[in-house]
Chain A
Amino acid sequence: MAKIDVSIETNDLPAPPPKHPNTCPSCHSHYRDDELERSLWVCGHCGHHFAMRARDRIACLADPGSFVEEAADLHSEDPLGFFDLRPYTERLAEAEMSTGLADAIVIGQATLDGRQTELAVMDFAFMGGSMGSVVGEKLSRACDSAAERGVPLIAVTSSGGARMQEGILSLMQLPKTVCAVEDLHDAGQAMIVVMTHPTTAGVLASFASLGDVLLAEPGALIAFTGPRVVQQTTREKLPDDFGLAEQNLRFGHLDAIVPRPELRPTLSRLLRLLDAPQ
């Protein structure tokens, strides 16, 4: 069988990274840190949405001082003793050092314009936002916390897919998070998903697609299989907007594309419509 299935992977991004993280990859405008922070990491010139760290995202969505983090101390283990070019444990330690996070997701309680909600925010900077046991467990706990408190869950995704270094257990996080979302739905609560660049493979093929309302940021890659792999395996000619949020909206896979400055007011409206408790 010559076909290669690379549907779940972590480094399947369309563009090579820019030379400097503060340089816009589409129009090459350059910004100081404080300029980017003030503009919510959106290029003032062309509207490109830079990647946003989980803590920054929470700071700009939650009412000041309202965020109470949950399950902050969960850490990944190395069930397979996985070793590729470097040991998995070393990659984990390095990611923790460079991001200041225990894994690729932060969850907790918050209010947004006074309405109670549960937040689950992924961080692409931690091993490509890949979903291993900790991401699966924390997303599941966020579902339970939302169900117990009777509040909606807002999940902000950013992930290359399952974390290969955890082998089959990373694949099992797909059914695991699906079951958790089903439990949330059975408890009568809604989930709003905000897909940011990139939301691909295992995360798209599990909890992210099960949101009651699906939003995306402009230009985000939202695909089960990324463009490079589709091109390599099928040699098909790819449309210009292949896998982007705009194409997904056109084909009926999203409810709306929301530019970052409008995200908070949009979520606030939805929480009002869902009668989230005050």
Chain B
Amino acid sequence: MPPSEHELRLRERLSRLKSLPLLGGAKLSGELERLQRQLERIAAEPTDEEIWRSVQLARHEQRPYTLDYAERLLDDWFELHGDRGLADDGAMVIGLGKLGGRTVTLVGQQKGRDIQERTRRQFGMPYPEGYRKAIRAFELAERLRTPVVSLVDTPGAYPGVAAEQHGQGGAIARSQAAMARLTVPTVACVIGEGGSGGAVAIALADRVLMQENAIYSVISPEGCAAILWRDAGQAQKAAAAFKPDARHCLELGVIDGIVPEPEGGAHTDHDEAARLLGESLREALDELDGVPGEELRRRRRARFRSLGVYA
């Protein structure tokens, strides 16, 4: 992408300042530094093409899913099933395992690899039963005093008649509320698509991370384009406008860190992607070690309550 007009203007000013004979001393060097920082920021800002590449990689068919990570990261991984009410939602996976020696409760959305599995798991879109299954896991973690690791990967909560009848909105709200009440350490990582309410339902955590090429957004690019441009084909434009990529989320304070992926994306090397994710998760849990439960909860709520921009 060619440099923007703004960038060109800055570069021109910078070179002009640099070529001046030394006269202003400190004042001038301050100005130089400021311009240099602005330029670095522009260079670090993902371009529209890079944002779109993230959208594509986040949805890549070979991208590792929650179970791929569970098998690689957790010793003695034991999957639990069912919401103890009505169903076992395949789009939501819960279970226990050991991460670097400590038992953790894992909660994560799960897509499918082949068409049968995709159908069985509703393409990673949970029903209210899935969120009740997650709540069950959060309550289990609280009783067992294990940290919670949640892996977010959903295009959104399932948009269907039965899902509405079973209380989709309420289930998502109560799943967040259950996380807001926890007094054990919690780490969430968006590992693919973090699609709107269905994603944030399991992401109200002490530390929120995103993989380099994951996306986290209030609506899918296609949905946004359909509503605001009245044309789902404008998805790329929409993505550029609402910036769902990890770097923008970090800049807005929505996430605390970016988890690196193997060169070319997580799908190129599942083992390496898992190793990098495991490192970040352990680091985040180490940071939370020793903080009293009440304090964890107070800080977690304060963190989320501080999000927003207004005057």
Contact = CB atoms under 8 A, between A and B. Distances in A.
Given A7-B156, A174-B197, A168 B223 contact: no
A15 interface: no
A160 B169 CA distance: 13
Nearest to B204: A175
B159 interface: yes
Contact of B196 (A8, A85, A237): A8
B249 interface: yes
A180 B177 CA distance: 10
B106 to A, nearest CB: 20
Nearest to A77: B309
Secondary structure type dominating chain B contacts: helix
B233 to A, nearest CB: 12
Contacts of B168: 205, 223-225
B181 interface: yes
A84 B226 CA distance: 11
Contact of B252 (A79, A140, A182): A79
Contacts of B160: 225, 230, 233-234, 236
Given A137-B310, A253-B167, A7 B305 contact: no
Contacts, number: 240
Given A169-B252, A169-B308, A180-B305, A225 B180 contact: no
A23 interface: no
Interface string B188-221: 0000000111101101100000000000111110
Given A80-B241, A80-B243, A238 B161 contact: yes
Contacts of A202: 196-197, 218
Interface of B: 59, 123, 125, 155-157, 159-161, 163-170, 172-174, 176-177, 180-181, 195-198, 200-201, 203-204, 216-220, 222-224, 226-229, 232, 238, 241-244, 248-249, 252, 254, 300-301, 304-305, 307-311
Interface of A: 1, 3-11, 74-77, 79-80, 82-85, 132-134, 136-137, 140, 162, 164, 166-176, 178-183, 200-202, 204-210, 222-225, 229-230, 233-234, 236-239, 242-243, 247, 251-253
